Amino acid sequence: MSFASGRHFLQIPGPTNVPDQVLRAMSAPTIDHRGPRFAAMVPPLLEALKPVFGTAGDVVLYPSSGTGAWEAALVNTLSPGDRVLCFETGHFATLWQRMARDLGLEVDFVPGDWRHAVDPADVPARLTPQTKAVLVVHNETSTGVTSDIAAVRRAMGDHPALLMVDTVSSLGSIDYRHDEWGVDVTVSCSQKGLMLPPGLGLNAVSAKALAASARLPRSYWAWQPIIEANKRGAFPYTPPTNLLYGLREALHMLHSEGLPQVYARHARHAAATRAAVQGWGLELLCLDPEAYSNTLTAILMPEGHDADRLREVILDRFDMSLGAGLGKVAGKVFRIGHLGHFNDLSLAGTLSGVQMGLQIAGVPVKDGVSAALSVLAEA
Amino acid sequence: MSFASGRHFLQIPGPTNVPDQVLRAMSAPTIDHRGPRFAAMVPPLLEALKPVFGTAGDVVLYPSSGTGAWEAALVNTLSPGDRVLCFETGHFATLWQRMARDLGLEVDFVPGDWRHAVDPADVPARLTPQTKAVLVVHNETSTGVTSDIAAVRRAMGDHPALLMVDTVSSLGSIDYRHDEWGVDVTVSCSQKGLMLPPGLGLNAVSAKALAASARLPRSYWAWQPIIEANKRGAFPYTPPTNLLYGLREALHMLHSEGLPQVYARHARHAAATRAAVQGWGLELLCLDPEAYSNTLTAILMPEGHDADRLREVILDRFDMSLGAGLGKVAGKVFRIGHLGHFNDLSLAGTLSGVQMGLQIAGVPVKDGVSAALSVLAEA
Amino acid sequence: MSFASGRHFLQIPGPTNVPDQVLRAMSAPTIDHRGPRFAAMVPPLLEALKPVFGTAGDVVLYPSSGTGAWEAALVNTLSPGDRVLCFETGHFATLWQRMARDLGLEVDFVPGDWRHAVDPADVPARLTPQTKAVLVVHNETSTGVTSDIAAVRRAMGDHPALLMVDTVSSLGSIDYRHDEWGVDVTVSCSQKGLMLPPGLGLNAVSAKALAASARLPRSYWAWQPIIEANKRGAFPYTPPTNLLYGLREALHMLHSEGLPQVYARHARHAAATRAAVQGWGLELLCLDPEAYSNTLTAILMPEGHDADRLREVILDRFDMSLGAGLGKVAGKVFRIGHLGHFNDLSLAGTLSGVQMGLQIAGVPVKDGVSAALSVLAEA
Amino acid sequence: MSFASGRHFLQIPGPTNVPDQVLRAMSAPTIDHRGPRFAAMVPPLLEALKPVFGTAGDVVLYPSSGTGAWEAALVNTLSPGDRVLCFETGHFATLWQRMARDLGLEVDFVPGDWRHAVDPADVPARLTPQTKAVLVVHNETSTGVTSDIAAVRRAMGDHPALLMVDTVSSLGSIDYRHDEWGVDVTVSCSQKGLMLPPGLGLNAVSAKALAASARLPRSYWAWQPIIEANKRGAFPYTPPTNLLYGLREALHMLHSEGLPQVYARHARHAAATRAAVQGWGLELLCLDPEAYSNTLTAILMPEGHDADRLREVILDRFDMSLGAGLGKVAGKVFRIGHLGHFNDLSLAGTLSGVQMGLQIAGVPVKDGVSAALSVLAEA
């Protein structure tokens, strides 16, 4: 089948479909990053970002991927040999703790089955006097499981460890409260809920994190020079100007819709998607209804069916990209991204494509689209 | 509900969803229309257009809407008081014959019920010795009814009248053969199957049409100076350069997919749409299955329900634009455009939106989307 | 030499360099021209256009070139055989009167040498009791000569003829006052001072013009249906939506700079260009300093040098397009466009390119750029 | 004065003027970076990059600024406490050695006056048995001085230290030969000669560099996983897809023009700029004609005149951004960038703007533009 007509459905859980107004904003000419027009753009941009993180504190932008923002969180706060506590919620939690090891940290990695959120009840026993930081992935992009950050923080009690949270696939899509929940470093990036192309890594930083005595070597990722330079509308090195144009437009869109409305929309789409999965008679990877992700849904293939083959059928036949199973669920799981610049009819098209793809791939499923439409129509 | 997120579904029967690659092509800088780069662009562009019309003859482009191309067809071939034969297939056929009257022609207007195509059997009796031209709308955008042009031509026998055909909503979407069918002037425009913004009117012209002795005053629309200038890559007045960039890209897309594949895609989408209508238990405006349009479907609202209210609900709730009933079917009919840059999943989203809108508007309908998906999945 | 690097200098007197923000605005998705978003766009757009024409009356937009807007002016106001008075100020005045003849009007064409403006003193003697309209080109794009419209109007006294003015290359660049000067129809288009790609024709229309009893056949160009539809944010046929997006942005730019500032900028650039011409020791086509155009400068080549050869050298070597001599000055004249989206440094680059081109083409010239820079620096 | 009209002249030495075709290429929709379309894009992109570096070896791309690519060079090759040799050629050489210190390296920093290139004769005496790497800035963006890398390499003799070279403002504009000259790590970025917006850092890497036993902690910057993933058209973390679209287009442009032609163009523009400086009677910062940069020219202000005030005048009055004096030449120097997507007429405009700005700022200068035009016209 041909890809020649109609828009591609990019339903991986990020990069998401970039709004055309954001792409247009990004295609404005690059300007002098040391001149007055640039300087005037920076402060309102940072101010508009803060409510998305739920912080009144500092937000730091990097020309980087989200992986870079993980590294920034670690090297700005920790010293060689420091002990950190991580939870195996999925593929990205596994990669982050591996990065911590690569950078010379000691990692306590609490094993998990990739089908549950972090259990706050586990936290106290896992904390040691030497634990310097707790690392949690808010919304596991590989599994569609969302952990309760506020509960994790409460479970840490008055332990002095820093709390660092990866919000790569939740920020801007699922309610998040850096300050209120007591997070020290929030890590995120541009290409998911912020509706931008990849290329921008973000950290929101608490005063405690800023004050951490950290001896890991750092230069590019160092927070302080960036925060200082930002105060005068500048950056210590050349910023990704055109992505900042796009960010300005994307934040304008999010605030125009209203963050509560944005979060409600994602919740509605997730509920409709799960209704479709139930209709199809398939199984969610996530086993805990309290932890269902609002931004993506990971679905187990029935025995004897390969998830990657399904994705291939759907790409070839319907020009839709779905997320693969990653790491230990490779081939067993496929993921539907339903986040970012997205609406009811695009979701209906997405779920229709999955349903037809399942049928064409010979997976025995019943109609699930009708159930999803009911959810959407009743909203 | 908000329009803030996701792409608008522009499912009127034109303008259609312009591909983003066409919009990008159109945003290149305007160049000197008398310079060598422009001159080099024109001949291949006209050559690439010809197979879409099914002609080896001349195609003329105007900076105009399709309405302008109607006028061009008339003023280049007819003289004040000339008699033309028109058929009331719908709103646009009515407008075209009104234009003919406004320009000083005598019109024989064969009445119709807006639910049937031109009946070729009617033609011979309607032709008079004075008839100078027969005007037919190939695909009535207001009704979703497609007339059989080859049959009309055959029915004209050896009558010397010119045959002029409006292909505004069929060109590039439904198989069309200017030369083979013996059409003299084919009228079209940019914003439907050619996947461009509005602003370009087109005529394909037979040698007989070119030779017509016509005394209606004309200057802007005169074919001969344009055809002459085109031979050296020029236009007699400033052409719409950026639309021509877009046309080049759009024709590249159509030929890459392959015209037969493009036509088959439109046929498949139309069949799926009619399956949905049947599922809903609603009635098509078109009463003749042979004349079902492949580019749009006009649907009658059940008694007691207003089509414009439905469209309003769907626009407010699902950010989708549908076509209104025009002229004498205003309020009674709504139209789904399924032409141009469009694919299976966008159609699934479109039909899902119509179904949910009908339910929300209180129109008693059953599930039709499943039937449509079956058509698409089996294709 | 290569065209591979840097921006092309499009210094023909139109199409002009389209601002990239206008091109971006035009690349937004086409919307439903019968829907509420479109309807909301139309009235403020027309209001923003009016001050550019200097009118509080009606402005009519066509999907057309400027040539179409000429035809619209004539067919809306005149009847077959009507007598009109035209002045041979250059190539475009010649083309307009030829169109008038083609449409069946009687033309009194006052001969001219293409080097002077319309002489208002000529007007009274040329008017006859049968004269129904006087047609004047405000700024002759082929010669760089600007006529004094207010003086022409005064010279008409209380003669009932309509005054129609072509402002194709002056509107938005040179002060113009449709109402104050008593103009009945002002003709213009998109691709010059309005900084858009070609594709939009414009008429500003007085009450007297609207009331004219005109029997030339017309349909596409008819004012009344457009003015009526515009009142409710609509058009009688599909408008060029994406050009309207561009127009909105371009008008925003003009009003942000301020029309008086825009006009002063064009005057400054024209003065600097003439200073360069004087420095080069070349001769202006325009012989009357009162009539020097602010938007373009036409320059006579010295004996024995071909203007088209010069333009070719400059295009090949410096990637700059200049205007050719048209009609009876072909090969003898080249034209520098200095209008639209343009600034001092682009003018300096333009004049530098002309100077180097003249030298390379073997035309004996002295330095003229320095004189131009003095004008610009002192401004 | 207003900025409302015409294009901004971005004549800082980077970011440079991004070609509009690159901006358009970048505005295509982001695609799945794990899908087949993306995978097919990567290998030809890397192949097209290699000749720009003059290497047949590995090139590594980062979502980062050039500063990140500096860090990548160091952490992939060195261990804590390693000794590196640096040369104070200007501001960026100073920043790079500071980064080396921040990352825990020992730096031998050979002092310089910012007006000369690295003297290869200095190298042997500065090398110690402990020296692990020599760091040289090829083209100092802060001073307009170009060092002779091949000579530095020869001067190193058979010393085992790695040679690392910053080509941030030379790559793609000045002939550079990673392999032939024996460079181990070449550092660069997107926003200068590669004509892209900022956001992409680059390393070209020799086999020796790849084999270096390095114990600086690293994860994001680690070469090996990127090189491995690239072999199958992938990246270990989300790549900056839209910048890669732009890179593809920019490389196509460079290769279409031809790299030798690109380098010759930059040499011509630099020569013309220096002719203007001489005409003005001003002094170049660079004291060695062999080391004049082809991509930017740094000019000393006469005593009693402030360079930043001049830049402000030029920005306000002519909408042109020039480079500031950085570090110890702040206020004393301004820099003209003449690299990237640039041509003769834009250079003429640039130099005209500088000349007028100098005059308006009260700096006593004579005409320099004429001399520059002579250089350009004779080329």
The secondary structure of B12-26 as a DSSP string is: SSSS----HHHHHHH
Asked if B355's CB is within 8 angstroms of A345's CB, the reply is no
Q: How do residues C100-148 score in pLDDT, each as one tens digit?
A: 999 999 999 999 999 999 999 999 999 999 999 999 999 999 999 999 9
Is A212 within a domain? yes
Q: Which residues in C lie closer than 8 A to residue B68 (C-beta atoms)?
A: 63-64, 68, 220, 237
Q: How do residues B255-276 score in pLDDT, each as one tens digit?
A: 999 999 999 999 999 999 999 9
Q: Are residues B43 and B128 part of one domain? A: yes
**What is the average per-residue pLDDT within C159-183?**
98
Helix (H, G, I), strand (E, B) or coil at A312: helix
Give, to the nearest 10 degrees, the angle between helix A369-378 and helix A344-360. Answer: 170
Residues above pLDDT 90, as percent of chain B:
99
Q: How do residues D197-249 score in pLDDT, each as one tens digit?
A: 999 999 999 999 999 999 999 999 999 999 999 999 999 999 999 999 999 99
Amino acid at C315: L
CATH number at residue D97: 3.40.640.10
**What is the average per-residue pLDDT within A157-175?**
98
CB D317 within 8 A of CB D196: no
Instruction: Give the pLDDT score at B83.
Output: 98
Rounded to whole angstroms, the Cα distance separating C163 from C152 reads 9
Q: What's the domain range around D246?
A: 20-256
Do the strands D162-166 and D283-284 form a parallel or antiparallel pair, or are they unpaired? Answer: unpaired
Q: Are residues D265 and D241 part of one domain? A: no
Q: Are residues A367 and A239 part of one domain? A: no
Annotated binding site of A for substrate: 335
Q: Which residues in D lie closer than 8 A to residue C265 (C-beta atoms)?
A: 5
**Average pLDDT along chain D:** 97
Rounded to whole angstroms, the Cα distance separating D17 from D340 reads 7
Q: Above 90 in pLDDT, residue A129? A: yes
The pair of structure tokens assigned to C84 is 């009109």
Q: Are residues A200 and A86 part of one domain? A: yes
| B27 → closest Cβ in C10, C27, C191 | C27
Instruction: Give the pLDDT score at C1.
Output: 38
Closest residue by Cα to residue D1 from C7, C224, C344, A279? C344
Q: How do residues A206-250 score in pLDDT, each as one tens digit?
A: 999 999 999 999 999 999 999 999 999 999 999 999 999 999 999
Helix (H, G, I), strand (E, B) or coil at A90: coil
Residue C194's H or E segment, with its range, is none
Asked if B344's CB is within 8 angstroms of A318's CB, the reply is yes
Q: How do residues C66-100 score in pLDDT, each as one tens digit?
A: 999 999 999 999 999 999 999 999 999 999 999 99
Q: Are residues B325 and B314 part of one domain? A: yes
Q: How do residues D312-353 score in pLDDT, each as one tens digit?
A: 999 999 999 999 999 999 999 999 999 999 999 999 999 999
Rounded to whole angstroms, the Cα distance separating B13 from B336 reads 7
Amino acid at C112: G
pTM, to two decimals:
0.97
Q: Above 60 in pLDDT, residue A1? A: no
Rounded to whole angstroms, the Cα distance separating D210 from D162 reads 11
Q: Above 50 in pLDDT, residue C64? A: yes
Rounded to whole angstroms, the Cα distance separating D95 from C146 reads 59
Q: Which of C256, C287, C307 is the last residue of a domain?
A: C256
Residues above pLDDT 70, as percent of chain C:
99
Instruction: Give the pLDDT score at B379.
Output: 82
Q: Which residues contact B155 (CB under 8 A, 6 or more apart)?
A: B120, B121, B123, B124
Q: Are residues C243 and C263 part of one domain? A: no
Half-sphere exposure of residue A15: CA atoms within 13 angstroms, side-chain side:
25
**What is the average per-residue pLDDT within D174-195?**
98
Give, as one character, the DSSP assignment of residue B198.
Answer: S
| D12 → closest Cβ in A32, A189, A220 | A32
| A377 → closest Cβ in B20, B256, B356 | B356
Q: Name the band, by pLDDT with cuts 50, 70 and 90, for residue D3.
A: low
Is C2 within a domain? no
Q: Are residues B290 and B360 part of one domain? A: yes
Asked if D2's CB is within 8 angstroms of C257's CB, the reply is yes
Residues above pLDDT 70, as percent of chain D:
99
Is C3 within a domain? no
Q: Find where tokens 């405006």 sit.
A: B285
Q: Above 50 in pLDDT, residue B2? A: no
Asked if C240's CB is within 8 angstroms of B71's CB, the reply is no
Q: How do residues D102-124 score in pLDDT, each as one tens digit?
A: 999 999 999 999 999 999 999 99
The pair of structure tokens assigned to D317 is 């009055």
**What is the average per-residue pLDDT within A299-310?**
98
Residue D290's H or E segment, with its range, is none
Q: Which residues contact B271 (CB under 8 A, 6 or more apart)?
A: B375
Is A219 within a domain? yes
Looking at the complex, report in whole angstroms how far the Cα of residue B105 sits from the nearest Cα belonging to chain A: 42
Q: Are residues B332 and B282 part of one domain? A: yes
- Residue C319: beta bridge partners? none
Instruction: Give the pLDDT score at D379.
Output: 83
Closest residue by Cα to residue C359 from C316, C315, C318, C310? C310
Q: How do residues C211-266 score in pLDDT, each as one tens digit?
A: 999 999 999 999 999 999 999 999 999 999 999 999 999 999 999 999 999 999 99
| DSSP per-residue codes, C127-169 | --TTEEEEEEESEETTTTEE--HHHHHHHHTT---EEEEE-TT
Looking at the complex, report in whole angstroms how far the Cα of residue C30 sits from the nearest Cα belonging to chain A: 12
Q: Which of A239, A256, A273 is the last residue of a domain?
A: A256
Closest residue by Cα to residue D166 from D150, D147, D187? D187
Q: Are residues A334 and A263 part of one domain? A: yes
Give, to the nearest 10 degrees, the angle between helix A344-360 and helix A259-280. Answer: 20
Residues above pLDDT 70, as percent of chain B:
99
Amino acid at B81: G
**What is the average per-residue pLDDT within A314-334?**
97
CATH number at residue D262: 3.90.1150.10
Rounded to whole angstroms, the Cα distance separating A20 from D370 reads 46
Distances (CA, A) of D140 to A208, C181, D71, D123, D143: 39, 61, 18, 18, 6
Do the strands B320-324 and A145-146 form a parallel or antiparallel pair, or are they unpaired? Answer: unpaired
Q: Are residues A297 and A235 part of one domain? A: no
Amino acid at C134: V
Q: Above 80 in pLDDT, residue B283? A: yes
Q: Name the band, by pLDDT with cuts 50, 70 and 90, for residue C379.
A: confident
Is A4 within a domain? no
Instruction: Give the pLDDT score at D4.
Output: 66
Q: How do residues A54-63 score in pLDDT, each as one tens digit?
A: 999 999 999 9
Instruction: Give the pLDDT score at B1.
Output: 37
Q: Which residues in A lie closer than 8 A to residue C29 (C-beta atoms)?
A: 20
Q: How do residues A19-33 score in pLDDT, each as one tens digit?
A: 999 999 999 999 999
Instruction: Give the pLDDT score at A51.
Output: 98
Rounded to whole angstroms, the Cα distance separating A23 from A34 reads 24
* B257 → chain A, closest CA residue: A4
Instruction: Give the pLDDT score at C326.
Output: 97
**Average pLDDT along chain C:** 97
Q: Which residues in C lie closer than 8 A to residue A27 (C-beta atoms)?
A: 20, 24
Is C123 within a domain? yes
**Average pLDDT along chain A:** 97
**What is the average per-residue pLDDT within D257-280?**
98
For chain B, the residues whose C-beta falls within 8 A of a C-beta of chain A are: 2, 4-7, 9, 17, 19-20, 23, 253, 256-258, 261-262, 265, 317-320, 341-350, 352-353, 355-356, 359-360, 367, 369-370, 373, 376-377
CB D284 within 8 A of CB D292: yes
**What is the average per-residue pLDDT within A152-178?**
98
Helix (H, G, I), strand (E, B) or coil at B39: helix
Is D1 within a domain? no
Q: Are residues B111 and B249 part of one domain? A: yes
Annotated binding site of C: 335
Q: Which of D256, D273, D299 is the last residue of a domain?
A: D256
Q: Are residues C135 and C149 part of one domain? A: yes
Instruction: Give the pLDDT score at A3.
Output: 52
Instruction: Give the pLDDT score at A2.
Output: 40
Backbone angles phi, psi at D37, to 5 degrees: -65, -40
Looking at the complex, report in whole angstroms how far the Cα of residue C230 sits from the nearest Cα belonging to chain D: 30
Is D293 within a domain? yes
When divided into structural domains, chain D yields a total of 2
Instruction: Give the pLDDT score at C78.
Output: 98
Looking at the complex, report in whole angstroms how far the Cα of residue D31 sits from the nearest Cα belonging to chain B: 14
* A103 → chain D, closest CA residue: D217
Q: Which residues contact D14 (CB under 8 A, 6 or more apart)?
A: A238, D141, D168, D169, D191, D192, D337, D339, D340
Residues above pLDDT 90, as percent of chain C:
99
The pair of structure tokens assigned to B36 is 């060598």
Half-sphere exposure of residue D170: CA atoms within 13 angstroms, side-chain side:
29
Q: Above 90 in pLDDT, residue C4? A: no
Rounded to whole angstroms, the Cα distance separating D73 from D187 reads 7
